[in-house]
Structure 1
């Protein structure tokens, strides 16, 4: 029976009931040692008698073994791995040491975990209980939290119990405090004197474990109340001392057995016995309720018992036990035996030992090939500590730094990189270390400082590799582009020109961006155009393609932008490059929004935002928020646009992200312009720094100035936009440039020419704005019949796109001509009734993708995909999957 936890029990009951109804949920229970977290997990298990239950317990000594905890949790369901998509099955099998193919990315293992849990839930609701999650290895936590954040409609519940040190941002949390006085009193023995009971309740601070264990540790005098029952120590320390007194009262064989079991951590009876634990000693410890033996597995009744057993032993005995455990694991056929042996040897060593360091290095490599990057970093770092040779030590520290970077532990990666001396001579390693330092600065500091770190490190690389130096300088220009800093870009460009020619198209792109930042639009457009030509893209990997795609924005090449970013998204999804996928979703979302495919744009940007949060890419979060605000502004989603863009701008300004902040301010200016507030729009648009975005947003700045009655403030942005449109030579910029001239000069010929140019531009939103502006001009000229034709055309497009503020403005103008406009509609878009996620799923299903294929692309479980289709069918008025293609084809609105 649980005392004082009725509300927590209700929360658990609700999660279980929802799982039985097909909905999923996750919960993190936090609290200090002994507060009752494990008791709530046991309660959940007892209430889930009709559900399948998976259990995993974190063990401190196994925190550096990659995917050890995930294997423990999933071990009873691993026979279903074959049901997963091939790439996921291979990734999960490789991560768990069950296959030869290593996962290419740790988050692909998370997706496979989600799919496996969904597969196991096909037989009925599933409950996953994860205790002491703070001691799970990082690779396992990454996979489990990734899966937990994406639970939707699988019928899966995941409950984590953890102390401090477990990070699971985005998951619901339940923080346990101490029991109230009544509940605390109910746990104490009834025969204690009142004064002792009161003191125990006070000193235990309501901690259930302390209330149960401390009375048993009292002496006769303490129980009688003649001495203070406890000392002035934290609850965990008091309980640990109580356990240590119990252990001290045991026989020598029992104490030895407990020490070996505590040092081992695996719970394998065979290994503990082989290391010297006697069965009689283990039986004695079990009779004392310190451990539990189930079959061939040993478990401590509470983690503090393990801690007490280990810490109460002298250091010489601990060293000897670790050596004995290493010997016991020699020749073991267990998947992780070699790794555990290496760590036990390391724990038994004082000072340097090249042999043990070499074994730890091998363990680090095994972890790396299974995407256990955090474990790899820890092993390399410990190997470096055991290494006497300074050159070899630096090499191992460098390897630790790179592994930590791959694990997303940027602070630790940078700290390790700073410990590497100049002895390292490999250009690949030097380049990687520079990128580690720069990446950390980019995420935690500013792009400008990150670019400076790269630029300062280039001379050392250039002396060894022109190719690597070229790439680093391109990265420097990219940092300058994000920071809006022309001076840094110019320095990097000068160094690029001084290097031997490598033939990389990225050089032209970097030189073009530099010229654009310096205000030379003509040369900037010329160089960037060379970089994005089709033949120049051949052979580029995802990083190079991502850089090239970003050039399409200042070149005004919307279709090309969408094609390249779509290719990048597909490649990242195929290969599991989750870190790059957040970038890809951002660029693809902007491209889709540029082409007025707002549903797909929102879905891509939302997906990118979730990934960026998962990865801890703070700067990417800012950029995605500002980009999402820009898309929302087109449709006039006032509240969400304003909240998203304002938060994104605040973050970006604090991070020196000039490019992101410019997109956010463009979003707010566009929103105000659509709402008919030109003065507010002009304030936002004039605040945009002179980045590449300043040329794209200049057209809106012109319109805001004219509509605000400030034509003199339209001259500079008009000149800026006309120059840009002239040099990029794209249909839509040309049409918009004519609209801007018409607004400023009041020349009807420019309006008429702009309308004709839009026919070939493929950007209906801008076409509608031009027709609206032309219709307004015609109405003011008292040419009502001509005005109606333009305004009706504008209204039809705005309605179809869901651009509500702009559509309302067109209606107001039509009414002023004496016309009666139709009510808001989206008759040409039957998919408009769907949510962005449902729309995305329906589009893929309509193209013939299976639920599993869709799940793999969207990082969902197949059951969640099925749930979205189940919700979409009645909205679309269909009953079968075969009807989806017809409905999707009838939608004339691009997503």
Structure 2
């Protein structure tokens, strides 16, 4: 029976009931040691008699072994891996050491975990109980949190129990405090004197473990009421001291067995015995309720017993035990034996040892091939600590820093980089250290400061490798573009010009961005155009392609932007480059929105937001919020557009992200234009600094000035946009330029020419705005019949796109001509009744894509895909999958 936890028990039982009904959910129970987290997990297990149950327990000594905890949790369901899609099965098997191919994709491992949990749940419900999650290895945490955040309709309940420090942003949390006095009193033996009970309640501070264990540790005199003054130790320390006393009273054989088991942490009876633990000693420890032996597995009754057994031993004994464990693992056939042996050797060393350091390097590389970036960083870091040579030590620190950065551990990565010796000569190492420091500053400080870090380090690299210096200077220009700082960009570009020329689209693109920032629109667009269209793109990796995709935006190349960004998304998913995927989502979503595929754009940007938040990439969150606001502005979602834009701009301004803030202000300006508030729109457009993206927002600025009766404020943005459009030479930008001239010059010929140019473009939203503006001009010229033709065309497009604010303006104009406009044409779109997620799934299913393949593409489980189809069918008035294709074909609205 649990005392004082009725509310917590009710929360757990509600979670289990929802899982039985097919709705997945997660809960993170947090609290100090002994507060009752494990007891609540036992309660959950007891209430889940009709559910499948998986259990996993974090072990501190295995925290650096990638996927060790995930293997422990999934071990009873590993036989179902073969039911997963091939790519997922291969990735998960490789991660768990069950296959020959090591996974290169952390996302595939997380997705495979989600799919496997769904498979294990089957037609019923599944409960996953994860205790001491703070001691899970980072690779396992990544996979499980990836799955937990995407659970939907699988009937899976996941409950994590953890102390502080376990990263679980976005998951529901339950924080356990101490028990109240009544519940605490119920846990104490009735035979205690009242004053002793009161003292123990006060001492335990509501900690259930302390309330249970402290009475057993009382001496006869203490039971009689002779209690010593209160110490200053926290409850957990006092309970641990009690365990130390229990261990100290055991025979030597039992103490040795406990120490070996505590140092090992794997729970393998064979390894513990092989390292010198006697069976008699283990039996003695079990009789004293300090550990449990189940078959060939050893487990401590409480994590604090493990800590007490290890910490109470002299350092010389701990070193000897680690050496004995390393010897015991020498001939082991376990898949992780070599890694564990190396870590035990490292724990047995005082000072430096190059041989052990080399073994840890091998551990690090094995962890890297399995996607265990945090484990890679830990192994390289320990290898560096064991290295005497300062140059070699710095190289290992640099490798650790890069791995930590890949794992999203920005603070740790920077600390490792700062630990490297300043006199290192290897340009690879120097560049790596600079990149790590700049990356941390870019994500947590400002892009301008990140650029300065790069520039300050360039001279050292330039003296040793002109090629490495070139890539650093390109990175500095990227920072300058994000910060909107022409001075930094020109400084980096000057450095590029004096270095030997490298024939790369990245160099041309960086020099083009520099010219664009300085106001040289013609020179900038020419160089960036060469970069975007060059054949060398095929040779670029994800970072280079990401940079190239971003060049398409200031070039007005929407289709090319979508093409390259889509390629980056696919490559990130394939290779597991999770740190780059959030950036790729931002580019891809913005491009989809530019092409008026608003449903797709919202889904992509929201996926990016979730991912960036999970990774702790605060700057990317700001970019994504502003980009999402820009898409929402087109459809007139006033509340969500304002919320995302205002928060995104506030964050971006504080972070020095001029590019993100420009997109956010552009979004608000477009929203105000749609609302018919040109003065408010003009205020937003004029707040955008006159560099970079202002060439794109200049057309809206012209319209706001004219509609607001301030034609003098339209001259400069008109000149700016006309110059840009002349150089980019895109049908849509040509048409928009003509529209701007028509608004300023009141020349019908420009309107008519603009409408014709739009026919070759790829932006129907802009086409409808041109037709609306032309129709308004014609109505005011009292040419009602001509006006109706343009206004009807505009209304049809706005309705089809779901641009409600603009559609209402077109309707109002049509009514003013004496026409009776049709009702909103969403009724012509059978898929309009679906949510964005349902639309995505229905369109894929209509093309014949299987549930498993849809799940893989959208990072869902197959069961969740089936659930959304189940919900969509009655909305669409169909009963079978075979009917989907006809329904989807009749929907003219792009996603």
The TM-score by the shorter chain falls in which range? over 0.9
Alpha-carbon distance in 1 for matches of 2:154, 2:75: 20
User: Displacement, 1:123?
Assistant: 4.8
Matches within 5 A, 1:782-793: 782-793=782-793
CA deviations 1:76-106 (Å, max 9, x no partner) are 1111112222222222122212222222133
Q: Take 2:119 and 2:725, find their aligned partners in 1: how far apart are those partners?
A: 53
Distance (Å, rounded) in 1 between the aligned partners of 2:816 and 2:699 = 26
- Helix, strand or coil at the partner of 1:29: strand
Output aligned runs, 1:22-61, within 5 Å.
22-61=22-61
SS for the counterpart of 1:128 is strand
Alignment-derived partner of residue 386 in structure 2 = 386
Measured in 2, the distance between the counterparts of 1:19 and 1:428 equals 51
Q: Secondary structure at the match of 1:596?
A: coil
Q: Distance in 1 between matches of 2:537 and 2:316?
A: 62
1:135 offset after TM fit, Å?
Answer: 0.7
Cα separation, 1, equivalents of 2:812 and 2:831? 27
Which string of whole-angstrom CA distances, capped at 9 and with x for unpartnered residues, describes residues 4-43 of structure 1? Answer: 1111111111111111111111110000111100000011
Residue 230 (structure 1) shift:
5.1
Instruction: Spell out the pairing of 1:196-595 with structure 2 (5 A cutoff).
Output: 196-228=196-228, 231-422=231-422, 424-533=424-533, 535-595=535-595
Question: Residue 825 of structure 2 aligns to a residue in which SS?
Answer: coil
**Contact 2:518 / 2:691 at 8 angstroms: preserved in 1?**
no
1:8 & 1:370 partners in 2: Cα distance? 37
Q: Residues 286-340 of structure 1, C-alpha deviation per residue, up to 9 Å, x if partnerless?
A: 1111111111111111111111111222222222222222222221111111222
User: Which residue does the alignment assign to 2:698?
Assistant: 698
In structure 2, distance between residues paired with 1:381 and 1:573? 28
User: Deviation digits for residues 146-176 of structure 1, max 9, x if unmatched?
Assistant: 1111111111111100001111111110001
Shift of 1:829: 2.6
Q: CA deviation at 1:583?
A: 1.6
**Shift of residue 262 of structure 1?**
1.2
Structure 2: distance between partners of 1:4 and 1:237: 23
Q: Distance in 2 between matches of 1:570 and 1:874?
A: 33
Q: State the alpha-carbon separation in 2 of the partners of residues 316 and 730 from structure 1.
A: 75
**1:195 partnered with 2:195:** yes
Map of 2:776 onto structure 1: 776
Q: What 5-or-longer segments of structure 2 have no aligned partner?
A: none
Cα distance, 1:507 vs. partner? 1.7
Post-superposition offset of 1:577: 2.7
Match of 1:737 in 2: 737
- How far did residue 206 of structure 1 move? 1.0
Say whether the 8 Å CA contact 2:485–2:517 is kept in structure 1. Answer: yes
1:677-714 deviations in Å (ceiling 9; x for gaps): 11111111111112321010011111111111211111
Q: Secondary structure at the match of 1:826?
A: helix
Deviates more, 1:746-755 or 1:639-648: 746-755
Aligned to 1:174: 174
What corresponds to 1:109 in structure 2?
109
CA shift, 1:891, in A, is 2.0
Aligned CA distance change for structure 1 residues 469 and 828 (closer, same or farther; 3 Å): farther
Select between 312-321 and 697-706 the one with higher mean Cα deviation: 312-321
Could you report, residue by residue, the CA deviation over 1:819-842 in whole angstroms, capped at 9, with x for unpaired residues? Answer: 222222224432222211111122
Aligned-residue offset at 1:542 = 2.1
Q: How does 1:575-724 map to 2 (within 5 A)?
A: 575-724=575-724
Checking the alignment, whether the CA contact within 8 Å between 1:263 and 1:322 is kept in structure 2 is: yes
Q: CA deviation at 1:72?
A: 0.8
Q: Per-residue deviation at 1:144?
A: 0.8
Q: Does 1:757 align with 2:729?
A: no
Distance 1:755 1:879, change over 3 A: same
CA distance in 2 between partners of 1:428 and 1:108 (Å): 30
1:876 maps onto 2:870 in alignment? no
Distance (Å, rounded) in 2 between the aligned partners of 1:535 and 1:826: 43
Mapping of 1:3-18 within 5 angstroms? 3-18=3-18
Moved more, 155-164 or 433-442: 433-442
Contact 1:800 1:827 in 2 (8 A): no
- Secondary structure, aligned partner of 1:532: helix
Q: Distance in 2 between matches of 1:832 and 1:428?
A: 54
Gaps of 5+ in 1: none
Q: CA RMSD in A?
A: 1.6
Cα distance change on mapping 1:847 and 1:471 into 2, 3 Å: farther
Give, in whole Å, the separation in 1 of the partners of 2:8 and 2:122.
Answer: 28
Question: How many residue pairs align between the two structures?
Answer: 895
Specify the SS of the correspondent of 2:826. coil
Query: What TM-score does the superposition give when structure 2 sets the normalisation length?
Result: 0.98
| Corresponding residue SS for 1:266 | coil
Distance 2:569 2:382 in 1: 37
Deviation (angstroms), 1:534? 5.3
- With structure 1 as the length reference, what TM-score do the two structures score? 0.98
Please say if residues 223 and 229 of structure 1, whose CA atoms lie closer than 8 Å, have aligned partners that are also in contact. no
Partner of 1:816: 816
- Do the aligned partners of residues 470 and 846 (structure 1) sit closer, same or farther apart at CA in structure 2, a change above 3 Å counting? farther
Aligned to 2:87: 87
Q: For 1:696 and 1:105, locate their aligned partners in 2 and report how far apart those are by CA, in whole Å.
A: 37
Tell me by how many angstroms 1:536 deviates. Answer: 4.3
For residue 189 of structure 1, report the CA deviation from its aligned partner. Answer: 0.3
Partner residue in 2 for 1:728: 728
- Report Cα offsets for 1:652-680 as digits up to 9, x if no partner: 11111100000000001111110111111
Counterpart-to-counterpart distance in 2, 1:299 and 1:363:
26
Q: For 1:417-457, what per-residue CA distance to the aligned partner results, in whole angstroms no more than 9, with x for missing partners?
A: 12222554443333322221111111011111112222232
How many angstroms does 1:499 deviate by?
Answer: 2.0
8 Å CA contact retained: 1:30, 1:37 = yes
Q: 1:174 aligns to what SS in structure 2?
A: strand
* Residue aligned with 1:166, SS: coil
Q: Does 1:70 align with 2:70?
A: yes
